[in-house]
A and B are shown apart, each in its own frame.
Chain A
Amino acid sequence: MSAVRKKGWREIPKGGLILEAGSAEQYDTGSWRSQRPVRDEQKCTHCMICWIYCPDSSILVEDGKMIGFDYKHCKGCGICAAECPTKAIEMRDENEFREKEGV
C-alpha cells in the first residue's frame, strides 16, 4: 500500500465528487493480485486477444506488439491466460515474486 497522506474532510471536494477525469489510474489495483500473469515470448504471436479481453487495460502494447503487463494495475484475474490462443500466458503465484522483489 502507498504511504500517501490521506486528506482531511476540509481538504477534499464535497459531495463525493471526483473533479478530474481518469483518476482511477492513481489507484494501485495491482496490490490486490495473488497471481501474476507471465508471458512466454516464444509462444506469443502478438494476436492482441489478451489486450481485447483484459478488463483493466493492463496489457502493454508498443508498435503493434504485446510487450508485457502493467503490474501496477493488473489484478491478476487470469482472463488473459485463459483467452490466449497459444497458451503463452501462465498465472504464477505472486509470493514467488514478492520474495524475489523483497516486497
Chain B
Amino acid sequence: MLGENKIREITDQVLAFSKADQTEVIVRVTESALTRFANSYIHQNVAENDTEVRVRVVYGKKIGVASSNDLSPEGLKRTVGTARAIAQLQREDPEFQSLPAPQTAPRVEAFVDQTASCTPEQRAHVVGVLCKKAKAQNVVAAGAFSTTATEIAVANSLGVFAYHPGTCADISTVMTKVTSVMTETGSGYASFTHQDARQVNAEAIANEAIDKAMRASHPVAFEPGEYTVFLEEYAVLDLLNFFGMLGFTAQAMQEDRSFLKNKIGEKVMDERVTIWDDGCAPHAIPLPFDFEGVPKQKVTFIENGIARGVVYDTPTAQREGKPSTGHSLPAPNSMGPFPMHVFMAPGDTPKSEMLKSIERGIWVTRFWYTRPVHPMKVLVTGMTRDGTFLIENGQVTQPLKNFRFTMSYLAALNQLRAISRETKLFYSDWGGASRVAPALVVDGFRFTGTTQ
C-alpha cells in the first residue's frame, strides 16, 4: 500500500504537471494474492502488485485520457503529455460542462490489516482444511481463496480529493463427488466474502459444499418445463447483476433499452421487492465515492415493487439537469454509470420454512454462463450448476442433471412466493462490485433444456 500521503504526492504532481483547463487523476493501488486449488491440491498460487495512474485532461470542451503504471516523475509527466496530445486531437464535446466540484464523501472504515497482510501460509492453511475435509469424504476440492487490499484516490484541479482504502477476502469452492477417475457424479458449491480474512470459516465452507456434493451424487435427467424453484443466494446474485447492468442506469434509460423506461412510479415487481444501491454500507465492500470523486448517494431502484430511480454519472445527469448520484466509472467509458453496490432487502421467512412450502419444485444452487437474450424483458438464458435437486413435499429428494433455463428475471420477481430472512454478501473482481442477495422461491421458472 502507498498510503494517503504518498498518493496525494502523486496526484499533486500530476495536477502540477498539467497545464489543462481542468485535470483529473485517479490512482488505483492493488495488492492482491490468490491461492487456487484443484484436484484437492494447490496448483496455482499468485501475487500481484500494481498501481495505475489515470489522467483526464480538459482543454475547453476537448478531453483526453491516458493511463500508465509508471510512477516516476518522468512517467507521470509522460502520461499527462499523452492525455494532452489526445485532447488536442479530439473533437469538442458540446455536452461537456465541467469536472465535478469538491463535495465531501464520508469516510467508511473498510480496511482490515489482517486481510492486507495475509500470508501465503495462512491462505494455504485455509485451503489445506478444505482439501483435507474433501479427501476424508472422498470428494475432490477445487476453488480459490483471494485476499486483496486496494487504495483508490480521485483528485481534480477543482479541489476534489477523495481517498478510500479497502480490503476483501473471498473464497469459493466446488466439491465434486467422483466414482472413478474424472467421472464426476455430482458437485456442490459454497462461497464466502468478508472485509476480514479472519472471518473465513474453512470448516463451514467445506461442510456446505461437501454436503451438497454428497447429495448431488447420481443425478437423474428431469423433464424441462415450468417449475417452482428455490433459488439460493448464489443464484439470486445473478438476477441483481442483470438488473444492474440492463436496467438500473441512466444511460440504459436514455437509450430506451431499460425495462424501467417510462415505468418510474409504476409497480414493476412483487410488492415485497426492494432493491437499492449503497456504496457507503459499512459491512459490505464499500466505496464511498465514484471515479469522478463524487460521493455515492443511496439510490433506490425498486421500493415495495415500485420503480423509483436509476444511477447517474455526471454526463447522464447533466443531460437531464440533475445532480450525479456518484456512480461514474473511470472516464472515458462507453457503459455509462454503473451500480456497484446492489442490495436486495431480505424477507421474513427463514430458508428452512421456504423449502417446506414447496410441494414440488427444483432447488437451484447457482447459475452459470448466463447471457441476456432480450434486454427489455430481462430475458436471460443460462445453466444451473453445482447442486440442482428435486424438491418434493417440502424436502430435497433427488439430485438432477443440470438444466438450461430461458427466463425473464423481471417475470421471476413478479412470480415470487417468498424472500428469505437470510442474506449473503458477494464480491466480483470485475470492477470491484459487491452485492447482497437473499434466497427466493419463484413460481413458474422456465427450464428449456437439460444437459447430459
B partners with A: no
